Amino acid sequence: MAEFEKANSVGEWFDQRLNTSGFWRVMMTEYWIPKNINFLWAMGALLAMLFTLLLVTGIFLLMYYKPDVNMAFDSVNYTIMQEVAYGWIFRNIHGVGASVVFLVIYIHMFTGIYYGSYKKGREMIWLSGMLLFVLFSAEGFSGYMLPWGQMSYWAAYVITEIFGGIPFIGDELVIWIRGNFYVADATLTRFFMLHVLLIPLAILGAIVFHFYTLRFPHVNNEEGEFFDYKEESEKYLAGDKKESKVIAFWPDFLSKDFMVISIFMIFFFYLVFYHNAFAMDPVNFDKADGLKTPAHIYPEWYFLWSYEVLRGFFFDIAGISGKSLGLIAFGFAQAIFFVLPWLDKSPMVKPANQRPVFKYWFWILMADLFVLTIFGKLPPTGINAWVGFYASITFIVLFLALPYLTKLEAKMVGGK
């Protein structure tokens, strides 16, 4: 070890020992972001912000919440909401934040799909992002159980029951997951553990990994342009910031992110204070009752599209039961987004509106997901059941057809 000079400042003292200036340079001032991007590129920083909010509010809720079937409901609806000073605000931020984080995740995801940010070297960004989506879904589901209201209970019941559809081990698996024959105290306590420890730990790790996957392929830009980052960053460092196609992560990029975050936070707290009802289902203010199914069960809005795919198949086809078909379609819907980079056979990395075939695919998918979400909330009777069926079929066909459509597109554009 080289001998250390006496440090002239606190900063230098840390720099000598931790190379803080080098770390800052690599992570911040010389981490390069393309210049031609728009506000949609701020969703990542926004998600980091929202996750932090959920983590902090979660810690405060944790001090009064009781993971026990006899105490959970009152600990939330009486202790936290009425007794704890400002307890209501932590709960509202946590509940509204959980809902809004999915809104931003979906914007983030569909921005990636629209601009083709999942292929040609960016596959790991996409895969780690999808992993985060699954982890956030598990986090949302396990958290929804905790207030132990009627919707908590029956959502837990229906979702754990899904595992019963797995051949051979299904019935035993459901009992194993629940720790009882039905959703009971053991279920609540273990999902509490998952919600406050295991899944958040996994999410933190996955976020770090997701950032790392951006390091080498770099973030995509509005035109899908590939350029030499070394060359462009040298221009920037030489002072030619106008000509350079890149900007520094800090202070250039993040300062604009903070602007977007500021505007978003005003909207977010408007929801928290004045329009939080959408994240607080009235049915969930009835205490869980295992012998009384609510008249109509539906998940939170962000799960509606996949819920509609699950129940879209309400009759037998070719000797396969509607239940099995629904489960297969549901599994398909969960898994298929992961392999999107390999289903898109077109070499084009361009915004969808510049791609002759993909643009139709993208907007039909958006419309279909919209229809699935709307009908996922409606009672599945009469015409609704059929709309759900055809929208589910459309979803599956869209993904099965994508390799052929994008091959066609590759031919049309001549491999560009």
Partner 1 sequence: MINESRRGFMGKAFGAVAAVGAVGSLVAMKRSWDPLPSVMAAGFTTVDMSKLEENKLEIVKWQGKPIFLLKFAADMPAVEKRSVKVGEHYYSVMIGLCTHLGCIPAYSSANKQFKCACHGGEFDAAGIHTFGPPPRPLDIPPFAIKDENTIVLGESSPEYEALIASLSTDNNIA
Residues that bind partner 1 (CB under 8 A): 154, 157-158, 161-162, 164, 171, 175-182, 184, 186, 190, 290-297, 311, 313-316, 321-324, 326, 379-381, 385
Q: How many Å separate Cα 148 from the centre of its chain?
A: 24
* Distance in Å, CB of 142 to partner 1, minimum: 14
* Distance in Å, CB of 305 to partner 1, minimum: 16
CA distances to 54, 171, 268, 398 from 111, in Å: 23, 40, 21, 18
Token readout for 118 is: 């999942």
* Distance in Å, CB of 3 to partner 1, minimum: 35
Q: What is the CA radius of gyration of the chain?
A: 24
* Distance in Å, CB of 75 to partner 1, minimum: 22
* Distance in Å, CB of 150 to partner 1, minimum: 12
* Distance in Å, CB of 298 to partner 1, minimum: 9
What share of residues in the chain are helix, strand, coil (percent, to 5)?
70, 0, 30
Name the residue nearer to partner 1 (CB basis): 25 or 292: 292
State the Cα–Cα distance between residues 294 and 289, nearest whole angstrom.
9
Name the residue nearer to partner 1 (CB basis): 132 or 183: 183
Name the residue nearer to partner 1 (CB basis): 322 or 331: 322
Taking Cα atoms as reference points, which of 258, 215, 267, 218 lies closest to residue 99? 267
Interstrand relation of 246-248 and 32-34 (parallel, antiparallel or unpaired):
antiparallel
* Distance in Å, CB of 164 to partner 1, minimum: 8
Q: How many Å separate Cα 88 from the centre of its chain?
A: 25
Name the residue nearer to partner 1 (CB basis): 254 or 297: 297
* Distance in Å, CB of 325 to partner 1, minimum: 9
Taking Cα atoms as reference points, which of 354, 321, 83 lies closest to residue 224? 354
- Beta-bridge mates of residue 287: 149
Ordered alpha helix ranges (H), 275-321 = 304-311
**DSSP code of residue 149:** B
Contact (Cβ atoms closer than 8 angstroms) between residue 297 and residue 155 = yes
Q: State the number of CA atoms in the 13 A half-sphere of 100 facing the CB.
A: 26
**DSSP code of residue 201:** H
- DSSP, residue by residue, 269-316: HHHHHH--GGGS-GGGGSBP-TT---SS----GGGHHHHHHHHS--S-
Name the residue nearer to partner 1 (CB basis): 294 or 403: 294
1 in helix, strand or coil?
coil
